Structure 1
Amino acid sequence: MQEKQSHISNETWEKLLVQLVYVQANSPYYQRLFKEVGFDTHQANAFTFLNLPLTHKKNLATSNDDFIAVESQDIIEYVTTSGTLGNPVTFALNESDLQRLAINEEQSFNLVGVDKKDVVQITTTLDKRFIAGLAYFLGLRKIGAGIIRVGAGSPALQWDSIQRFKPTYLVVVPSFLIQLAKYAEANEIDIHKSSIKGAICIGEALRDENNQFNTLGKKIKSLWDLELFSTYASTEMCTAFTECKEHLGLHVPENLIFTEILDEDGEEVKPGEVGELVVTTLGVETMPLVRYATGDLVKKMKTSCDCGKGSALISSVLGRKQQLIKYKGTSIYPQQIVQLMMELPEIEEYQIQVTSNELDTDKLTIVIPKEASESLQHKLKEILKANLRVTPVLELLPLAEIKASIFPEGSRKPVRFLDLRKA
């Protein structure tokens, strides 16, 4: 195998090697993989590391327990992935991993500007095996900031907490900010006089590949002029990438994770180009990952940040590699449709579905409420065709049926995209 050109500095390689030595000594999965490909940390260098096979979500799903690198009695927390691309995968953490998680979120909140004087309202769940809510709580505890654990949903309780405790920041799924703004308007609450000055936004992209607000970001800003901070994280990485006040991209926490952004040939992309984010976790003990392909497409930013932190920057997630739809010769990602649907708030709920037709090619359908008028359907088709160059099939169903599919029992996230293609 021809070795790839290394872009890894000596300092970074030293951090990587410490983790690789730990992995080879303790992870059954990577012990087996390293042996199969002839990789030994005693002779390893940056070039041989970059030729290691990628780890994928399917490897985690089929060999879940083999990734555990500590004794079972040392595990003190179990979480699962959200299952966006399949069945949830179990992740375990020991005390050291929880401390690392706290450090990660402390760094993230520091980038935003949160300090001990602030009060932060967490509007995401801390239960249902969800790592994010736990991470925010631990990070804020480490900073010493005030915490209000409201959890997901209930605009009434959110606003009661805002008016009662005067938080300065929200941790929130950005589309929920729209619900909060609409609730405030309906209940004669002046959001512009609230104590909230910023929102740490999770789970949904606010910016496009040029780092400008996308449709969702613009919609929120038109309703509520908060300072919005984008973030990106996943259960598998146990690490968050966060915007600072300069808003030039997401900071890579290079003390906690090593990142690669790879093209279709597995080569590092150039600054300004889009590729798949591949990560190697640093300092994780229970379930360390080596060259894990996230499936998330991000842009490698050209500039370093004006804040002077010195870390690399990436864009928000622009799409998911596995969710690529080939429809009538056009490549489409669900996120593109999600952004377009924001232009039609009259459509209360919708779901994007992709299936395989009789020729085993992709059939793209958008399910909308049957209550949608013919003029609204026509307007939607025009928007889709103008922006996607093709028109998906529109299917009309009762609103209650659509909601049941979007919000299935036990799901932590709305299922806005349903992939029903043959494997």
Structure 2
Amino acid sequence: MIPAIEKASVQEIKQFQEEKLKELLVYLSEHSPYYKAMFENKKIDIETIKTLEDLRKIPVTTKTDIQENNDAFFCVPMHKIIDYATTSGTLGDPVTFGLTDKDLDRLAYNEAISFVCSGIQEGDVVQLMTTMDRRFMAGLAYFLGLRKLGAGAIRVGAGIPELQWDSILKYKPKYLIAVPSFLLKMIEYAESNNIDYNASSVESVICIGESLRNQDFSPSILAKRIADKWNVKLFSTYASTEMSTAFNECEHFQGGHQHPELIITEILDEGNQPVKQGESGELTITTLGVEALPLLRFKTGDIVKLHSEPCPCGRNTVRVGPVLGRKQHMIKYKGTTLYPPAMHDLLRFFEGIQSHLIEISTNDLGTDEILIKIASDQPSEELMNQIKDHFRAKLRVTPKVEFVAQDELAKIIFPPMSRKPITFLDKRP
């Protein structure tokens, strides 16, 4: 089920996307109040936008633009909206994304071909370990994609290791869709309850929400901790509500494949100019085929690299590498630039850490301060020193570390209204 365009030549893919871009610009100029006004105010003649390179003539769209003008981005009357979704609000106020019937079909197609990329086939049974409620687009997308593919879905939802194992042992899924750090809790529960997890039906996990790879695609500490115990394949993914598109790894684990029929990607520097090939920058996307709320040159806030060397799987699409961090989460600490994902991964090295929270604040000198709050069943000065030494060795800095009670930390990490655990708090002005 690999779409023909994904096996086409690089030049054919480019020409295909340029035709789709022209169609999008006409659609936006006729239906989007926001983009129609922007074209007029910036005196942009869309007839002059003929190539992907011509996109640079158009200003970028930011999260703030959508937050401040949410309604103006809608291209259809509200009675056409079939499903309402919102962003998680990680980088500010949540944004509403409505989907039409056509958008739901596109979402299902996207997930179906993304799952195929990671090896799921018709007839496979897949356990969904993520929520479908709380206006969360991803959980619905996974279900629609599995349905379109002809795979079975077990809708267990998030959390509760006992219930997850009950379903695994009863329905024997081949795949799980899960947040990878939760797999460690699954392993812990299995070991405490005499469940032979390596003899279970589970062969692979589609991992969401957390990175599994270092920048060279070697396994992260989190991935190693899982793989050292549980003999399953771990597939990394990248997606967001704004782009209604997923980038899944194939069996060669060399980054998430782009679907050129659904999205155009750019990597931009601080001045909104394309970075040199192989350099990191902010992923900027243009959605294709979205009816209700299409986006043009939307800056995701995620710092990544694109990889364009051929993939042995036969797809000629570019691949998105692991997220280095979020632009707004960049930390300057004692002369070193840091992003939270690297710190999260280092903390997972220690099995004595039950949970953690990274807090960033500004000190009296106006510079960044890092405080890491840790819950451990065996807090000790030795563990604290090991954590600091590990940070010094791997990241060349030593943050402040303090132990707190697990129940106290859980209140911050798992607030009632949040769809995702909060393990990073940015208190900078």
Q: TM class by shorter-chain length?
A: over 0.9
Letter in 2 for 1:87: D
Aligned partners of 1:349 and 1:369 also within 8 Å: yes
Provide the C-alpha distance between the structure 1 equivalents of 2:326 and 2:55, rounded to a whole number of angstroms: 25
Residue 271 of structure 2: aligned partner: 265
Letter in 2 for 1:399: Q
Mean alpha-carbon deviation: is it higher for 350-359 or for 7-16? 7-16
Residue among 359, 374, 380 paired with 2:381: 374
Structural mapping, 1:294-333, within 5 Å: 294-333=300-339
Structural mapping, 1:16-415, within 5 Å: 16-46=21-51, 47-369=53-375, 372-415=379-422
Residue 6 of structure 2: aligned partner: none
SS at the partner of 2:16?
A: helix
Following superposition, the deviation at residue 263 of structure 1 comes to 2.4
1:217-259 superposed Cα distances (whole Å, 9 cap, x missing partner): 1111011110111110000010000011121221001110000
Aligned partners of 1:277 and 1:296 also within 8 Å: yes
Provide the C-alpha distance between the structure 2 equivalents of 1:311 and 1:153, rounded to a whole number of angstroms: 35
Aligned in 2, Cα 1:248/1:120: closer, same or farther, shift over 3 Å? same
Normalization by structure 2: what TM-score? Answer: 0.94
Provide the C-alpha distance between the structure 2 equivalents of 1:297 and 1:176, rounded to a whole number of angstroms: 25
Unaligned runs of 5+ in 2: 1-11
Mean alpha-carbon deviation: is it higher for 202-211 or for 362-371? 362-371
Provide the C-alpha distance between the structure 1 equivalents of 2:44 and 2:208, rounded to a whole number of angstroms: 37
Letter in 2 for 1:149: R
SS at the partner of 2:35?
A: helix
Mean alpha-carbon deviation: is it higher for 12-21 or for 34-43? 34-43
Unaligned runs of 5+ in 1: 1-6
Provide the C-alpha distance between the structure 1 equivalents of 2:159 and 2:96, rounded to a whole number of angstroms: 25
Aligned partners of 2:205 and 2:232 also within 8 Å: yes
Residue 5 of structure 2: aligned partner: none
1:37-84 superposed Cα distances (whole Å, 9 cap, x missing partner): 111223433354222111111111111111111011000110111111
Aligned partners of 2:257 and 2:320 also within 8 Å: yes
Root mean square deviation of aligned Cα: 1.7
SS at the partner of 1:133?
A: helix
Mean alpha-carbon deviation: is it higher for 260-269 or for 200-209? 260-269
Letter in 1 for 2:424: F
Provide the C-alpha distance between the structure 2 equivalents of 1:110 and 1:129, rounded to a whole number of angstroms: 26
Normalization by structure 1: what TM-score? Answer: 0.95
Provide the C-alpha distance between the structure 2 equivalents of 1:61 and 1:292, rounded to a whole number of angstroms: 13
Letter in 2 for 1:393: K
Aligned residues: 417
Provide the C-alpha distance between the structure 1 equivalents of 2:192 and 2:369, rounded to a whole number of angstroms: 40
Letter in 2 for 1:44: I
Mean alpha-carbon deviation: is it higher for 34-43 or for 102-111? 34-43
1:342-367 superposed Cα distances (whole Å, 9 cap, x missing partner): 11121211110011112222111111
SS at the partner of 2:235?
A: strand
Structure 1 segments of 4+ aligned residues over 4 angstroms from their partners? none
SS at the partner of 1:354?
A: strand
Residue 14 of structure 1: aligned partner: 19
Aligned partners of 2:308 and 2:317 also within 8 Å: no
Taking only the aligned residue pairs, the percentage that are identical comes to 49
1:246-295 superposed Cα distances (whole Å, 9 cap, x missing partner): 21221001110000112233332333321111000000010100000001
